Amino acid sequence: MTKSALQIARAAYMPKLPKALAEGPVRAVEGMPTQSVADQDEVKALFPNTYGLPVVTFVNGKAVKLPAMNVGVILSGGQAPGGHNVIAGLFDGLKKLNPANKLYGFILGPGGLVDHSYKELTGNIIDEYRNTGGFDMIGSGRTKLETVEQFEKGYEIIKELDIKALVMIGGDDSNTNACVLAEYFAAKHYGVQVIGCPKTIDGDLKNDMIETSFGFDTACKTYAEVIGNIERDCNSARKYWHFIKLMGRSASHIALECALQVQPNICIISEEVEEKNMSLDDIVTSIAKVVAARAAQGNNFGTVLIPEGLIEFIPAMKRLIEELNDFLAINQEEFSHIKRSHQRDYIISKLSKENSDVFASLPEGVSRQLTMDRDPHGNVQVSLIETEKLLSEMVGIKLAQWKIEGKYVGKFAALHHFFGYEGRCAAPSNFDSDYCYSLGYTASELIANGKTGFMASVRNTTAPASEWTAGGIPITMMLNMERRNGKMKPVIKKALVTLDGAPFKAFAAQRDRWAIETDYVYPGPIQYFGSAEVCDQPTKTLQLEQQMKK
């Protein structure tokens, strides 16, 4: 592998660990029994062997001689910065427990387990990928593990390789799959542990015990750098409004964090749109008012941050999409045979009156995007909906009408951006390098302590890494029942932006001023080498959330 100068320098970086893990050995201290976040009776019935387990915290303990074991690891779902360090931490932790331990990586995600595609991860391989972005060490995939046939096919290779534990590194759906797999193996008495690690740049996999998901820190810093560059260009040319869509299908954490870092003129928070029951026209009008107010000052430029999943949070659109998801889950075959020119009329004729009217009112391009192929979970692929162009077009139409009515004097020209893949494989920040390494190391200790159905947890993350607390939480603790592909299924409940939370309140207190003033912040590139106050700082979101708890 050819390495850049940065990669060579980063390979020498030694991730920091919580004191208990660094000093080792550890023992597990168990808390009180837990319950699911909602739908307790239904979840307990589905997970009789792994429900109600206690939260675990690791503290210093006595050395215990453990027999050698083989462990498997899977990268699942979309990429996130730091995944390689999770594997490195897992590898180093296993080798410290017993140098004879072996680690096998399944290729291209959960599908590698089912297809028996794997490779042993040796020290030489691990060393090539320390502190690097991407998931290319073993690749990732989105195969869902949910059928007995898949479980048994996976167990065949697990048994052949004499694997005693499997670590699933993924987001909410991937860790839900890990929970289901742990329950299945436990019910069958197969003697295979399953451990999860929290990954998603979207930031929506968190709770009191999972303070942040890995990759969020790096992705937001990467996006904030590029948005800052655009803001500087915007403030230099002074003639364009930049509509910037950001990753975040199910929550607005990335948009909010980036807003706190760069101070744009407008940032839409999907959860607020839903809470206030705003229509598409309400959103367009609010943007147009800011454009008009800035134009009155002679400033015909600005920046607008838009969460990727905004459309699904507009109540009328959400109801439409829910009915569309259920309808297409049942009638996809019939719909696929309808001529494209007739598909719009076909959908209008099949929906309820309210949703049919909303669908008919949409621009044809947007309505077509809403009926495109679903993702593996049966949901609209909102990343394919060009919300940034839809909003700028509608704002332009409204401003043109206001100009006729004498309510607006100015020029409006829009440029569009979507920042998504740019942040998923970025080289991890110091925070993510340390956090991910600690998660992997924690997973090795959960395995050593015989746990299954647990997610690695590293807490107190706004303190120096040596003061972090390592442990694990039962994945069933995070579950609730939701409708997927027309059926109720157990899934990890997504953590949305809370409007009474400290990050949103900090944003809301400043946004009216940011709207009118040009008070942009230009974060610049992620700084790896420098003073701790520059390169070791966690996200503003995490700092604000933890300050509120103290």
Active site residues: 202
Q: Which of 136, 271, 276, 132 is nearest to 203 (CA)?
A: 271
Cβ atoms 320, 359 nearer than 8 A: yes
* H, E, C per residue of 144-203: CCCCHHHHHHHHHHHHHCCEEEEEEEECHHHHHHHHHHHHHHHHCCCCCEEEEEEECCCC
Provide the angle, in degrees to the nearest 10, between the axes of the packed helices 280-296 and 387-404. Answer: 60
Q: Which two tokens stand for residue 306?
A: 């838009």
CB 273 within 8 A of CB 283: yes
DSSP designation for 51:
T
Separation of alpha carbons 180 and 196, rounded Å: 11
Closest residue by Cα to residue 539 from 185, 297, 217, 125: 217
Inter-axis angle of helices 315-336 and 340-350, nearest 10 = 120
Task: Give the CA-trace dihedral at 1, 436, 207, 171, to 10 degrees.
Answer: 20
DSSP state, residue 476: G
Strands across the sheet containing 241-246: 266-267, 302-307, 241-246, 414-419
C-alpha span between 203 and 206 (Å, rounded): 7
Is 272 in a helix, a strand, or coil?
A: helix
Read off the amino acid at residue 467: E
Amino acid (1-letter code) at residue 313: F
As a whole number of angstroms, the distance between CA 39 and CA 239 comes to: 52
- Cα 297 from Cα 8, distance rounded (Å): 50
Widest pairwise Cα distance in the chain: 81
| CB-CB neighbours of 322 under 10 Å | 15
| Chain-centroid distance, C-alpha 99 | 34
Distance CA 123, CA 347 (A): 55
Q: CA torsion angle for 274, 381, 145, 482 (degrees, to 10)?
A: 20
Give yes or no for a contact between 382 and 251, defined as CB atoms under 8 angstroms apart: no
Tokens 């046939």 locate to: 149
How far, in Å, CA of 66 to CA of 63, rounded? 9
Instruction: Classify the phi-psi angles of 469: left when phi > 0, otherwise alpha if psi is within -120 to 50, otherwise beta.
Output: beta
